[in-house]
Structure 1
Amino acid sequence: MSAIWAARTALYIARCGPQAWTPDYLCSRLTPNVSVPSCPSSTASSLQCPSPASSLQCPSPASSLQCPSPASQEKEKRQSATSNRDDLKIVESCKRFRRFIADPALIDSVVRCLAPWGSGRTPIIMDCNPGPGLLTQALLEAGHKVFALESNLDFLPRLQTLQRKANGQLKVLHCDFFRIDPWSEGIVQPPSMYSTTLMRTLNITEVPWASDVPLKVFLMFGHKNERVLLWRQIYCLYQRLNVYRFGRIELNVFLTETEYLKLISRPGDFMKYRALGVLFQVACHIELLHREPMSSFLTPSRFKGAAATKSGGFADNTLCLVRITPRRNLFSENFTPAEGNIFVYMIKQFMTRRKSKLIEKLDNLAPGSGEDLLRSLALPTDIATGCIHPEEYKLLFETLLRSEEFNRSFVLDEICEKIAATSY
């Protein structure tokens, strides 16, 4: 019997290797600082207990978990450094002012801010003008599906390389978000694009307004044109034009702190409470996600002194990442996109002189009805236009629409002119 047992043992060791015969209770003793699983005979070749001489060494080349060699690590570092240098050269070559996100801590902060969705789903994110794509890559690594719209052709090769490695999670387009549905006549060519063409290419279909947010958009405004771009979003939002015809598109945008404070200002603050803030508060939930110094952003060196304002002072040194989500109840039977442009025009007129009497403005729109309209909302007859809450303005407008004296036709031509003047 002992001869038979010895022969079986020798055959087993010959098949599975010398470590296969190591008893289970000795496996943990061989590497006291490393947790090693027991050695099942059926997988002895793939999960073997390390020998004392190799307990702290990398597995064999055939192993599925290999440690990268020093040579491969150095090669990856050189490739990364070369890529970063090339990206910086492209950034320096930009002829227009743009901010880029390159700071690792800021990238992590933005990824965390964009992650919450509300229903546990991973959000679909439209990354506008990503440049070198450092944030785009971080979003992909976090598991997001990303649509990258880049207006500068120089950055497209880098983004297209990311697209090939993303296994269908990234789609890159030569497009400028601010030139979607341009007002200029003629053939539309990239980076300009029609919203229907863009959404069809991205396979995004129209959903009812009360549905969940179908898409998150991340973008940054320039310091000179942020108010113009915000006005363009307001015109499109209230009429459900541009990307908003496909649903409640959420904007996640970096604004100057001064502009953000104007958006959230309340009645009585005659310096900051403006028409743009009233319109955004009526239409959207506004949430501050993050504040970041301008020094954290990468800009071409030729624009380093671009913080000066036209008035001779200096702009903010802080940017605010703001989430702007259209409200589900914005539109109703009493407030449709057809009336949205009239509402925008009315608020602009009323908030031009914020200390003027509201009753005078109402009498101009509906002669002789101003006092009755104010009484219906329990508002004093001598109240100023800058002291009305945004919600009250919407109720006032809906009441005005039901008035027989209100004639809306005289404002339409001027509204169209205003839209064209504040759009690309």
Structure 2
Amino acid sequence: MIKKHGLTANKALGQNFLLDTQLLSRIASVPGDLQDSLVFEVGPGPGGLTQALLQAGAKVKAVERDERCLPALQELSNHFPDQLNVINEDALKIDLSQLFDTPFHIVSNLPYNVGSALLIKWLSSADWPPAWQSLTLMFQREVADRIVAKEGSSAYGRLSILAQWRCDAKLAMSVHRSAFTPPPKVMSAIVHLTPKEQPESVSPEMLAKLTQTAFSQRRKMLRQSLKSLPGGLDALKTVGIDGARRPETVSVDEFVTLARCLSA
């Protein structure tokens, strides 16, 4: 398909094509049985993962910005009638509530240049639980490690907290760089996230602001970084968190408690 349509991965779009059919089938199985399920995919490219999802029985809505890939995806659609709908658009501009009116899964080999931004967008929904039932996403291994990291580790940071306060996050599998065409310079990994109950009385906006402020200077003590946040120092005292601690030592639950205090 790639040869037929003269496709090459576009670095500017963060593309790396994944063609190993066995690996793609394993990725498509991570969310569970997808027979007759709705799936949203970002950046299908020539359609390797898309085909695995379709073969698993899913009905896929895919957003592809690169017009060069559309003819290949149309051929795939012809092979799986009524299962694939491709939208030529920028994924960051997509409003999922306009695409789906019933629960769905998100499964994607995300373009590296927009992966974190899309994840934060999906995790920051004002409505919770979200319409999506799970996220199965490919990231650079470094980013994947940050998503699932626990406090005290060098990978732990803002992305860890934003992912874990509302979701159960786990590393589903590692993917070697040699599996891609062309091979990227870094290793990759699949992260699987499922929504859990949101802690009460916590504003997502406040948690996002708190974590951004705290980790903007991650080597500084909390009392130094949070003094620029209105009410930050008072909140530390109220909840009993030592201001001499550094942000990477503060657990997700403790950040949630701080955000709850600030939200109030």
Fold match by TM threshold 0.5? yes
CA distance 1:346–1:246, change in 2 (3 Å): closer
1:278 aligned partner, one-letter code: I
Partner residue of 1:130?
44
Q: Matched residues in 2 for 1:367 and 1:142: separation? A: 49
The 5 A counterparts of 1:293-304 are 293-299=176-182
Alignment coverage as a number of residue pairs: 263
2:106 corresponds to which of 204, 207, 217: 217
Partner residue of 2:208?
344
1:156 aligned partner, one-letter code: L
Partner residue of 1:86?
4
The structure having more radius of gyration, on CA atoms, is 1
CA distance 1:294–1:168, change in 2 (3 Å): same
Q: Matched residues in 2 for 1:170 and 1:386: separation? A: 43
Q: Matched residues in 2 for 1:347 and 1:238: separation? A: 13
2:55 corresponds to which of 132, 141, 146: 141
1:267 aligned partner, one-letter code: E
- Using the TM superposition, give the Cα deviation of residue 382 of structure 1 relative to its aligned residue in structure 2, in angstroms: 4.0
- Using the TM superposition, give the Cα deviation of residue 246 of structure 1 relative to its aligned residue in structure 2, in angstroms: 6.0
1:350 is paired with a residue of what secondary structure? helix
Partner residue of 1:158?
72
Whether the 8 Å CA contact 2:105–2:132 is kept in 1: the answer is no
CA distance 1:90–1:329, change in 2 (3 Å): same
Whether the 8 Å CA contact 1:374–1:381 is kept in 2: the answer is no
Whether the 8 Å CA contact 1:359–1:374 is kept in 2: the answer is no
Whether the 8 Å CA contact 1:358–1:382 is kept in 2: the answer is yes
- Say which structure is richer in strand: 2
- Using the TM superposition, give the Cα deviation of residue 156 of structure 1 relative to its aligned residue in structure 2, in angstroms: 1.6
Whether the 8 Å CA contact 2:61–2:85 is kept in 1: the answer is yes
Partner residue of 1:366?
231
The one-character-per-residue Cα deviations of 1:202-228 (angstroms, maximum 9, x if unpaired) are 4x22x7xxxxxx2212223444x35xx
Partner residue of 1:238?
124
After TM superposition, the score normalised by the length of structure 2 is: 0.82
Q: Matched residues in 2 for 1:246 and 1:283: separation? A: 10
1:91 is paired with a residue of what secondary structure? coil
1:90 aligned partner, one-letter code: L
Whether the 8 Å CA contact 1:273–1:386 is kept in 2: the answer is yes
Q: Matched residues in 2 for 1:122 and 1:359: separation? A: 52
Partner residue of 1:324?
193
Q: Matched residues in 2 for 1:170 and 1:138: separation? A: 12
Q: Matched residues in 2 for 1:94 and 1:355: separation? A: 33
- Using the TM superposition, give the Cα deviation of residue 390 of structure 1 relative to its aligned residue in structure 2, in angstroms: 0.7
1:240 aligned partner, one-letter code: A
CA distance 1:137–1:371, change in 2 (3 Å): closer
- Using the TM superposition, give the Cα deviation of residue 262 of structure 1 relative to its aligned residue in structure 2, in angstroms: 2.0
Whether the 8 Å CA contact 1:282–1:394 is kept in 2: the answer is yes
- Say which structure is richer in helix: 1
- Using the TM superposition, give the Cα deviation of residue 359 of structure 1 relative to its aligned residue in structure 2, in angstroms: 4.4
Q: Would you say 1:266 and 2:184 are equivalent positions?
A: no
Q: Matched residues in 2 for 1:93 and 1:287: separation? A: 29
Partner residue of 1:357?
221
- Using the TM superposition, give the Cα deviation of residue 380 of structure 1 relative to its aligned residue in structure 2, in angstroms: 4.3
Q: Matched residues in 1 for 2:256 and 2:60: separation? A: 36
1:256 aligned partner, one-letter code: Q
Q: Matched residues in 2 for 1:93 and 1:236: separation? A: 25
Q: Matched residues in 2 for 1:109 and 1:91: separation? A: 24
